[in-house]
Amino acid sequence: MSAAPIRVGVLGAKGKVGRAICEAVEAAPDLELVAQVDTGDRIETFVDTRTQVVVDFTHPDVVMGNLEFLVANGIHAVIGTTGFDESRLATVQSWLDEQPATGVLIAPNFAIGAVLLMRFSAAAARFFDSVEVIELHHPNKADAPSGTAYRTAAMIAEARAEAGVGRSPDATTTELEGARGADVDGVRVHSVRMAGLVAHQEVILGTQGETLTIRHDSIDRNSFAPGVLLGVRQIGSRPGLTVGIDSFLDL
């Protein structure tokens, strides 16, 4: 690997997430941290330092301004900031139309394991009679099931529908209310809330005599870092707009 390191900049560099990304970039031998920008700093620093890729975990109020500048200057961007609706995505696309060599990755979830779990579960879903989802989180979570579990179940249901697979068999005739979980498009989802946990999800698929279980455990908030670095390394060869890190995984 004699290639020169990729020159990386971070926007929102003093925030909790930003600092974690700076550390991760500094620890990677194939990346070089050349610019850190936060509120009050000049964004032109990225041009001055010949930054190749900027990571942005800032705020919905400022991210569009940041992106417009970056794209206009041909700097690739990896964006974890939230708040991108169809309208915002269309605007970003219009900027990129003028800069066809520049790449922008916008992703709501950089945890590679979570993304792989969803993909593998959907890919496997049509080969099994039964499938259910169990998600387990810390007890301060307000919604049940989690957004990730909901999307996972919906993706599984869609894959089964496309393949013409029916509902999971279930002979339950006597149920204590709630025992069989929530029904998301025909897929049962169970939510556990427990002290000592952070964010965990398990998909169980079963057919005659065998089960396949795919489980993701996330135990700290830094689990986005490997996904961000994956984006940083690949965005240079992925011009245009990409939403979600799924397609970068080349599964």
CB of 156 to a second copy, least distance (A): 14
Q: Is 9 annotated as a binding residue?
A: no
- Closest contact distance (angstroms) between CB of 232 and a second copy is 14
Residues 182-211 that bind a second copy (CB under 8 A): 182-184, 188-198, 204-211
Nearest approach in angstroms of CB 56 to a second copy is: 20
The yes-or-no answer on residue 141 being catalytic is yes
Known binder of ligand: residue 216? no
Site for a second copy contains 172 (CB under 8 A): yes
- Going by C-beta distance under 8 Å and a sequence separation of 6 or more, which residues neighbour residue 84? 92, 106, 243
Site for a second copy in 7-66 (CB under 8 A): 24
Q: Which amino acid is at 50?
A: R
Q: Is 216 a catalytic residue?
A: no
If 0-12 CB within 10 Å is exposed, 13-18 middle and 19+ buried, where does residue 251 land? exposed
CA–CA distance from 68 to each of 46, 65, 75, 92 (Å)? 13, 5, 10, 8
The one-letter amino acid at 157: A
- From the candidates 76, 137, 190, 216, give the one annotated as an active-site residue: 137
Residues 220-249 that bind a second copy (CB under 8 A): 220-223, 225-226, 230, 249
**Span of 55-63, 87-95, 108-116, 234-242 interacting with a second copy by CB under 8 A:** 108-116
Contact 159, 196 (CB under 8 A): no
The dihedral through the CA atoms of 72, 34, 1, 57 has a sign that is: negative
Q: What residues form the annotated binding site for (S)-2,3,4,5-tetrahydrodipicolinate? A: 138, 147-148
